Structure formats: structure tokens, C-alpha cells
A and B are shown apart, each in its own frame.
Chain A
Amino acid sequence: MTHPSLSTRDLTIRFGGHTAVNAVTCDFHPGELTVIVGPNGAGKTTYFNMISGQLMPSEGTVEKDGLDLTRMPASTRARHGVGRAFQLTNLFPHLSVLENIRLAVQAQSGDGRRFFTPVTRLTELAAKAERYLEATRLSDRADMPAAALPHGDQRKLEVALLMAMEPDIYMFDEPTAGMSLDHAPDVLDLIAEIKHDHTKTVLLVEHKMDVVRALADRIIVLHNGELIADGDPGEVMSSQIVKDVYLGNAGELT
């Protein structure tokens, strides 16, 4: 297989006496969509937070294409191509949908440091933002404040922000959480499109098994902060260890 685009080595974080993520070593490759599963409290979001920079690990390293990200702040990682969408909607509520997307575009293009050019004159910036508006089918809501969007559209905007950052690593944390069944496919289609690009590394935390089956190239299982299974979706889903974790007999395993 190709060189890993993202790898974590012995990634560990402790909160007081509690080890939330324990020595997780894992490689992720371009063109591969990895679904991370595990029961609540398994450390999936904490693992994400250490990769995208919201939390600093107690031990271990995070590398992207050979570059050590471990001590970098989240903003630097984002500029190096690690993009993250959040589980709870995490937008700029009083800014318009277009402004939300434009912020992500200009962060990536470096235009955020321009302090004297009116936004209206940067047509390239506007065109790019427009493109992501269309890709996520939010064009007709461009001028609405993000907070006024229905929940499903807020989730789409969350994905739009991530796409507009044009990262190499896409991290989705339960992108369809709280969405009704008829809206979830919109977001999943967007993720499928990213996957079909075959150059991006996609990490996805997801509970819904039909989603996992439809999208996953590979599944890893976290339990009590440890990586307990890693492999082909069919294999992992049918393995005894995963069944035990999900049926709650996991205490006997460790």
C-alpha cells in the first residue's frame, strides 16, 4: 500500500488518573475511508481531538506525511491539511451561510490576513465560496444567519466548511447525528463524493451500521481507549471481539 498520509504512534491522553485514549498506533492512507466505531466513552472523539489539535496528547505522536504535528496548535494543523467537522454543530451562528464558508476558503487561501481590501472585490474568493455553497446545495440560503438554518442544513454547512478548507485529511465526527432519515443521505452523498476522489484520507466516526456498511473501506474499533480491532469491514463486523464489545461483555476481555 501507499505511504500513510496520517499516523498516530502510541497516542495516549490521561485526564487525572483516567486514561481516555491508551497507546493507539494506527496508519491511515490516501483514498481510504476508515470508520471508527466503539461504544460511547470509548475515546473516539478524544482520539479525533488529539489528531486535529483540540487536545494535546500526554504521550505519543501524530504525523501527517512525515510531518510531526504533535505540538502544533489546531490552526497550524488545519493549514497543513487536517480538516475536521464536529459532532455538535460548531458554526459561526450570527454570520451568514456564505460568510461561514468564505471564512474557511480564505483561511486556506491566506486571504484572512488582508485587512484593507473590501471583501466584495475579492471575486475569486466569492466564486470559490459559491462553489461550495452549490456543492452542498445551500445556495438559496446563502444570506441566512447560520443559526437560523434547520438542523439538517446546519450539518450540511458543517460539511461545507470542511470541504472549503480543502484538506487532505477529512475527519467527520458523527456527521448525521440528530438528523432525520430523509436528510441524512444528503450529507452521506457529500462524504461519498469526497471518497470517490480517491486521493483524500477520510476518517469517520459513525454508529449507524448501514452507513458504516455503505461507506467503509476499513473499520477500526476503539474500546476503553484502546484499539482492539482493525481491518476489512466484513471481517471486523463479524468478529467475536466486536460482538462482545457491543453486547457489553467487554469487561472480561481486558
Chain B
Amino acid sequence: MNRTMNRTLSVKIIALTVWGLLLFSPFLFQDVRQVEVAARIAVFIVLVASYDLLIGYTGIVSFAHTMFFGFGAYGVAIALKQIGPGWGAWTLGTLSGVAVSIVVAILIGLLSLRVKAIFFAMITLAAASVALVLASQLSQFTGGEDGMIYSAPDLLKPSTKLLTDAEGDVLRIFDVRMNGKIAAYYFVFITCALMFWAMLRIVGSPLGTVLKAIRENEGRAEGIGYRVVAYRTAVFVIAATTAALAGAVYATWLRYTGPDTTLSFAIMIDILLMVVIGGMGTMWGAVIGATLMVLAQYYLRDLMEVASRATEAIPLLPELLSPDRWLLWLGIIFILLVYFFPAGIAGTIIRGRTK
């Protein structure tokens, strides 16, 4: 038992280190792209953790998670575009995105969560496809395939001076300019950290145990008094709401929303991979999975560029390591991870290598 606790502790330490790095990343990494990566990691941790509530904790397979992410993002994007930048518009957009997500989640849940898992998965796939088609067809609202560019509320605009020095210029702390960009980053960080904390509370609550019980033995959960359909629908709604909020936050950060940043099935697959890499059924695993995957997406090409140059003298190798083949290597890394960490990184560390 003690060993399991130590292992759980080490996973927590890794995950908290990631959160620590995210907290200070504007100061640690001053390159624009690096802060971009940090924000994306924060958002995807929430997205992956909320998906894990479904697939890892409750055993529900859904392909509609990016749809809810998209509802939140498009809600904010349309509101900011149509009404103009402001917190009123932002709140309205977020709430509409969340409201649509809740309604759709309840409908899908009540209609199909009582039937076989495969049928539910198909329904979510269909719903997500419809959402994707709608987003590209209703171009007068959504900007179609091109998406929408809009302004964030004033506080979060890069030109905003948060703190000024004696001459009225933007104040620098540790050489970091205290402008709207930093406000935007901490807006993302704080909202994501809060959502992650809320999900930790959920899995540690009595409800969290019920979710695991449903995953383990649905019939017996019903037999001791839990209405399984209701609990499944409830967790589906919680996950959908969280995904929508994450979408709203991401749309605010990017100041752009389009099918490729929110709704596409490529993102759905990314989320699935992140859950599997991190470890299903562990909130902390979501942190590890999302971080590794986003880092690989942003930096694997750079790394291969370096490797390709370093091996210039050797035949064949530079060809194999050419940055154009980064997806091949991402695939290989993924296969190796699944082979050596069958329960995901966090899951395998906690449970140990045996079984």
C-alpha cells in the first residue's frame, strides 16, 4: 500500500511541476511561441481531464468532446464579433456556449446513454459531424472554413498597459512587459487551473466513486441503488460544460476561432491520444499526456531539424530524421509509449509494471 502511495505521490509531483512551470512560463520562456505552447497546454489539460471523466472514470466513449469545446469557442467568437469586444459580450457568449452544450449533452445522454456503448459512440460521432458541417455551412455567423478573427476584451489586448512606470511606459518585471498579453496568459492559466481543481474535487467526491463503480460493474451499481442513466447523463453534462468553458477560454486567448482550432476530428484524436498517453482514469495523467503531446506537436520538428543536421555526414539517417517526417516519428513514439506504459504514463507508474 505504501508503495502505491509513493508512486501516486511521484505522479502528483510530476504533474504539479508542470503546473508550476505553467505558472511562471511568461517569466521562464519569453519567446512568443513558447507562451503560446504554455497556454495550449493549460487548455488541453482541462480538455483531456474532462474527457477522462467520461472515458477513464465512467467508461463512456464519446467522440463529441470537440463539439462541446467548439460550442464554447464559437459562443465567445460570435459574441465578440457581433457585439464587439467587452466582458458583457464575453459572458453572454460563454453562457450561450455552455447552455447549448448542456442541452445537447442532456438530449444525447437521455436518448442514448441507456443503450449499448457502441451505439452511444456512434450517436456522438454523428452529432459531432453535424456540428462540423454546420460550422462551415453557416458562414455568415461562423465564418465558415476560414473561421473568425475578433478582438478580446480590452484588458486582454496586447496593447493594454497593465502597469506603467514613471514615464508612462509599460512596466517590466524581470524583463517581462506587464501588458495585456500577460493578463491574457494568466486569464487562461487561472481559469484552467480552477477547472482542473474542480475536476479533482469531483473525482475525489462520493460521486467520483459512483462513476468508477459504473465503469466497473454497471448492473451492480444499479442494484445497490444508483440510477445509472442519470449518473451517466450527469457526468456527460459536467464534461460537456467543462469542455465548453475550455473552448471559451481558448477562443479568448487565440482571438481566432475556426473549425481547425476547435471542432475538427484531428483534435478529437489528439485528445484521445493524450488520455491514453497520460493514463485513463487518472486526473494527473491528463497533465502528463497533454503536456507531452503538445510539446511533441510544437517541438518535434525543431528537434528533428537539429538531429538531421547533426547526422549530415552519415548516409540515410538525415533523410529519416528530416523534419518532414515528424508525424512518422510521433507515431513511433506513441507506439513505444503504449508498449512500455500500457496503462498510460501515470497509470503505469501508479500501478507498477506488473499488470
Contacts and interface: CB of A to CB of B under 8 A. Distances in A.
Interface of A: 52-54, 73-76, 78-79, 83-84, 86, 90-95, 99, 102-104, 106-108, 111-120, 122, 125, 143, 161, 165
A237 B12 CA distance: 62
A90 B216 contact: no
B226 A75 contact: yes
Contacts of B207: 112-115
Interface in B208-266: 208-210, 212-213, 216-217, 219-228, 231, 238
B223 A52 contact: yes
A119 B206 contact: yes
Kindly name the residue among A53, A93, A118, A143 whose own CB sees the greatest number of chain B CB atoms within 10 A: A118
Contacts of A111: 206
Interface of B: 1, 198, 201-202, 204-210, 212-213, 216-217, 219-228, 231, 238
7 contacts: A86-B223, A93-B217, A113-B206, A115-B205, A115-B206, A116-B198, A125-B206
Nearest to A106: B206
Contacts, number: 105
Given A78-B223, A107-B224, A107-B225, A117 B217 contact: no
Given A92-B217, A143-B1, A106 B223 contact: no
A112 B226 contact: yes
A79 B221 CA distance: 12
A54 B223 contact: yes
Given A119-B209, A120-B204, 20 more contacts: A53-B223, A75-B223, A75-B225, A75-B226, A78-B222, A83-B224, A90-B223, A91-B217, A92-B217, A95-B209, A95-B216, A102-B209, A104-B224, A104-B225, A106-B210, A107-B224, A115-B208, A116-B202, A118-B205, A125-B206
Contacts of B205: 114-119
A73 B206 contact: no
A95 B198 CA distance: 22
A91 B210 CA distance: 13
Contacts of B221: 92, 103
Nearest to B198: A116
Contacts of B224: 75, 78, 83, 103-104, 107, 161, 165
B76 to A, nearest CB: 26
B227 A92 contact: no
B103 to A, nearest CB: 20
List the 6 closest A-B pairs by CB distance, nearest first: A78-B225, A107-B225, A115-B207, A92-B216, A75-B227, A79-B225
Given A117-B205, A125-B206, A75 B222 contact: yes
B217 A90 contact: yes
A74 B217 contact: no
A64 to B, nearest CB: 14
A92 B210 contact: no
Contacts of A161: 224
Kindly name the residue among A74, A93, A111 whose own CB sees the greatest number of chain B CB atoms within 10 A: A74
Nearest to A125: B206
A111 to B, nearest CB: 5
Given A95-B216, A102-B209, A143-B1, A119 B204 contact: yes
Contacts of B212: 92, 94-95, 99
Contact of B213 (A95, A116, A122): A95
A122 B206 contact: yes
